[in-house]
Amino acid sequence: MSNVCPLDYRYGREDMKAVFSEESRIHYQMQVEAALARAHASLGTIPQEAADEITRVASLDVVSVDRIKEIEKETRHDLMAMVKAMTEQCEGDAGKYVHLGATSNDIVDTATALQMKAALEIVMDDVDDMIMVLAKIAKRERDTLEIGRTHAQFAIPITFGFKIAGYIAEMLRHRERIIEAMPRICAGKMAGAVGTGAALGKNFFEIQKRVMRDLELTYEPAATQVVGRDRYTECICIMANIATSLERYGTEIRNLQRSEIGEAAEFFDVKKQVGSSTMAQKRNPMNSENVCGLARVIRGFVTPTFESQVLWHERDLSNSSTERFTLTHVFILLDEILKKMTWVFDGLEVRRDRMLQNIESSKGLVMAEPLMMKLTEKGIGRQDAHEIIRSSAMVAEDEDRHLRDVLLERQDLKGILTEQEIIDTMDAANYVGGAREIVDKMVEAAEETVGRKVE
């Protein structure tokens, strides 16, 4: 059979794919069944020997996926097929206690919570790796002058390290979001058909607590037949938020690699790599472009996730098919682009000379603001100072001259600004404000939060 989904043959790392594989799903579901049996036994509802036996068979080494699928052809119910397959393998009468008091989504949703927990731990590792790579660049490029741009036009000087420091701050916020939301996201339930726990009897509340404590999950305190899907929505929105940040970084790299800007570029293996099948000179930002495209796919799953919150009464099945796509694809693709963007940054070519050339190409126009501020220091009103510099900048641009030369010719500035003051004020290195200190603070924050030192 041919592979259709690109996750099967093109995208996704094996560690994350393994979390959402069919085998993994069944494994987690059987672990929930085992935890339920242990909770029952701890309260005397079933014999301890039965719980031990159910725990023993809750393994893919004992219950095969093939047997489950064989039973599912008859039952047309995947969870019940697993329950029957477990029951078959139990020795003695332990099989009659499998799934006691539970409904399918007690098992399915709790297993999904285990999957999301494992997946979020991988994402956290990915985020930490990216933060540290960004911190390395920010520290290295702390003093590297670059022109800041607003509206895609030259603004005033920054440092490249300062630009990257902003990315560190953003990724640290994402890290905080994941940690803060994990207890809400990773919640299971063991509350029966409509959430009342009736089939679990008088021990309902304690069984639910013990199952979730066993599995190291939180639980839905007032469930329907399912865990509240607002939890899934929060998860997917956080993942989409991270993906959007990655698209922002990828877009910046793509723009900086434009031929007419040329300030940074993705690593390119000049010995072997091919940029174009026909334009042999091309060195395309392929990975950054790929990140941008996949980020859009991730965001595309936000809408169906929101819509899956809206279930009829205590539950219908409209969310089930949707979630088979949303959760798996979002986590696998986010892991993919986090690793890819980290690779891009780790091998990023920073063209410091070109950054200086671009600043100098403005012929001093990008230093209009510091000149205006210098005039205010000399006692000229802010609005008057703005007009002096604005009118001088227009002349310099129209006549293709350096702003410095235009200012030196102005008679109204004689005795106010000396030539050396103009030169010093127009030195870009003297006008980056607190950029360097911001870099230092963000690198320190990265090291303290992640618990690693910048290489």
**Do residue 135 and residue 246 come from a single domain?**
yes
- Look up residue 7 and give its two tokens: 């996750």
Contact 11, 333 (CB under 8 A): yes
- CATH number of the structural domain spanning residue 78: 1.10.275.10
Q: What is the CA radius of gyration of the chain?
A: 30
**Do residue 161 and residue 52 come from a single domain?**
no
Q: 313 an active-site residue?
A: no
Residue 37 three-state SS:
helix
- CATH number of the structural domain spanning residue 373: 1.10.40.30
**Do residue 408 and residue 265 come from a single domain?**
no
SS3 of 343-400: the string is HHHHCCEECHHHHHHHHHCCCCHHHHHHHHHHHHHCCCCHHHHHHHHHHHHHHHHHCC
107 residue type, one letter:
I
Specify the pLDDT at position 284.
84
Given 64, 276, 318, 391, which residue is catalytic? 276
Q: Where a domain ends, among 67, 97, 127?
A: 97
**Within-domain flag for 451:** no
Residue 157 three-state SS:
strand
**Within-domain flag for 438:** no
**Do residue 130 and residue 188 come from a single domain?**
yes
Q: 42 an active-site residue?
A: no
**Within-domain flag for 443:** no
| Residue whose C-alpha is closest to residue 106's, from 206, 234, 205, 197 | 197
Q: Where a domain ends, among 97, 131, 164?
A: 97
**Within-domain flag for 202:** no
Domain that holds residue 397: 365-425
Strand-pair category, 145-150 with 153-159: antiparallel
**Do residue 392 and residue 247 come from a single domain?**
no
Specify the pLDDT at position 276.
58
**Do residue 83 and residue 132 come from a single domain?**
no
**Do residue 334 and residue 391 come from a single domain?**
no
**Do residue 396 and residue 349 come from a single domain?**
no
One pLDDT digit (tens) per residue for the chain, 455 residues:
678 899 988 999 999 999 999 999 999 999 999 999 999 999 999 999 999 999 999 999 999 999 999 999 999 999 999 999 999 999 999 999 999 999 999 999 999 999 999 999 999 999 999 999 999 999 999 999 999 999 999 999 999 999 999 999 999 999 999 999 999 999 999 999 999 999 999 999 999 999 999 999 999 999 999 999 999 999 999 999 999 999 999 999 999 999 999 999 998 765 676 665 566 566 888 999 999 999 999 999 999 999 999 999 999 999 999 999 999 999 999 999 999 999 999 999 999 999 999 999 999 999 999 999 999 999 999 999 999 999 999 999 999 999 999 999 999 999 899 999 999 999 999 999 999 999 999 999 999 999 999 98
Burial of 443 (0-12, 13-18, 19+ CB in 10 A): buried
CA distance 255 to 270: 21
Q: Which residue has the tokens 């899907």?
A: 229
**Do residue 296 and residue 353 come from a single domain?**
yes
Question: Using one digit for the tens of pLDDT, what is the confidence trace for 45-88?
Answer: 999 999 999 999 999 999 999 999 999 999 999 999 999 999 99
Span between the terminal Cα atoms of the chain, in Å: 47
254 residue type, one letter:
R
Specify the pLDDT at position 323.
93
Q: Where a domain ends, among 325, 358, 391?
A: 358
Q: What is Dmax (Cα atoms) for the chain?
A: 105
CA distance 117 to 108: 14
CA distance 455 to 436: 19
**Do residue 344 and residue 372 come from a single domain?**
no
**Do residue 79 and residue 132 come from a single domain?**
no
**Within-domain flag for 55:** yes
Listed in sequence order, the residues at least 6 apart from 362 whose beta carbon sits closer than 8 Å to its beta carbon are 147, 154
**Do residue 223 and residue 249 come from a single domain?**
yes
**Within-domain flag for 431:** no
Specify the pLDDT at position 283.
80
Strand-pair category, 349-350 with 264-265: antiparallel
- CATH number of the structural domain spanning residue 337: 1.20.200.10
Given 2, 40, 104, 151, which residue is catalytic? 151
**Within-domain flag for 5:** no
Counting Cα atoms < 13 Å in the Cβ hemisphere of 154 gives: 20
379 residue type, one letter:
G
Total domains present in the chain: 3
**Within-domain flag for 72:** yes
